[in-house]
Amino acid sequence: QVQLQESGPGLVKPSGTLSLTCAVSSGSFSSRDWLTWVRQPPGTGLEWIGEISHSGKTYYNPSLKSRVTISMDKSKNHFSLSLRSVTAADTAVYHCTTHPAGEGQLVNWGQGTLVTVSS
Amino acid sequence: QTVVTQEPSLTVSPGGTVTLTCASSTGAVTSTYQSNWFQQIPGQAPRALIYSTTNKHSWTPARFSGSLLGDKAALTLSGVQPEDEAEYYCLVQYGDMWVFGGGTKLTVL
């Protein structure tokens, strides 16, 4: 079973940068795998933020593309999410997820971490 | 902006059958859209149920099935159990990106 753990500041000031890390259990991110970030504002639905492949290819939600970067450090099995110029609308639980290509989306989920944007 | 629409809420009796649907603002949902379905119980992370419209994961209970129904993707629960009460989300592919539906709150009553 793949283990995913998100971490990062729980509070970010407006106009600042939200930075989160996802740790994937050792050896669990293979050449077929993708890592995706998903968020869920309190009491509302899910939003697909973007994804990165094992080779580093990235795709982003067009509504967030100008502010978001997903990157990875494969040697450490760490993946990062950076969201710039945040507002209160970016307050949400942020999840990292993984899946192998061709076997369904978002198969393995981290428990998620709540990030609040507030001064 | 692409919008994926689901029924906001549905109610079903234990043992009954219910179908949840997923519609696209761009037109008919076909197999090309690679629809996925997820179940989310309050306080938990979502759990994948269905991928590529009809495929079940190894952990997906047999009573869950995915299909295309008219111009929508559909998730059917047959023989609903009390533990199926949850929020259900579809996820649809549009080129290089994916879009979640707004979710359906399923009540088992």
Mean pLDDT for A42-67 is 96
Is the pLDDT score of B106 beyond 90?
A: yes
Mean pLDDT for A9-17 is 98
Is the pLDDT score of B60 beyond 90?
A: yes
Rounded Cα distance between A107 and B48, Å, is: 6
Question: Coil, helix or strand for A6?
Answer: strand
Q: How many other β-carbons are positioned within 10 Å of the β-carbon of residue A17?
A: 14
Q: What is the 3-state secondary structure (H, E, C) of chain B?
A: CCCEEECCEEEECCCCEEEEEEEECCECCCHHHCCEEEEECCCCCCEEEEECCCEECCCCCCCEEEEEECCEEEEEEECCCHHHCEEEEEEEEECCEEEECCCEEEEEC
Rounded Cα distance between A26 and B75, Å, is: 35
Mean pLDDT for B70-97 is 97
Question: Coil, helix or strand for A82?
Answer: strand
| Residue in B with minimal Cα distance to A40 | B45
* Candidates B54, B97, B105, partner chain A, best to mutate (most A CBs within 10 A): B97
DSSP 8-state code for residue A102: T
Is the pLDDT score of A87 beyond 80?
A: yes
Q: How confident is the model at residue A42 (pLDDT cuts 50, 70, 90)?
A: very high
Q: How confident is the model at residue B103 (pLDDT cuts 50, 70, 90)?
A: very high
> What's the whole-number average pLDDT of chain A?
94
Task: Indicate yes or no: CB of B91 within 8 angstroms of CB of A106.
Answer: yes
Return residues 80-109 of A near B (CB < 8 Å). 95, 99, 103-107, 109
Of the partner residues B1, B45, B100, the one whose CB lies closest to the CB of residue A48 = B100
